[in-house]
Amino acid sequence: MKTDMMAAPLWSTASFGDAADTSPMELSDLGEHLQHCSSRSGHWARLRCAAESMNGFVSARLVTTLALLSLPFLLLALLL
C-alpha cells in the first residue's frame, strides 16, 4: 500500500533562540497588504459594519424595540 506523505512547509514558526521579531521587509509587505485590503472594502464594508452594530443593539433589546415600534400603530388604532 502506497502512502502519500505531505510535504513539509517551507516556513517555520520557531525563532531558534533568536529574538522572535519581524523584519522590516515583512512589516513593509504587511503594510502594503493592509492598505490594499482597506482600500478595497470602502463604503460597503462601512455599511455592513453599521448594519451589524445596529443588529447587535436591536437584538440585545428585542422586547423594548418591539414595544417602541408597535407604539405608533397602537396610538393610531386608538385614535381611529
Please write the tens of the pLDDT for every residue from 4-32: 556 655 556 666 666 677 778 888 888 88
Within 10 A of 58 (CB to CB), how many other CB atoms are there?
A: 13
Please write the tens of the pLDDT for every residue from 40-58: 777 788 888 899 999 988 8
Prediction pTM value: 0.36
Query: Can you tell me which residue has the cell 493592509?
Result: 34
Q: Where are the alpha helices (DSSP H) in 1-80?
A: 24-60, 62-79
Contact 23, 30 (CB under 8 A): no
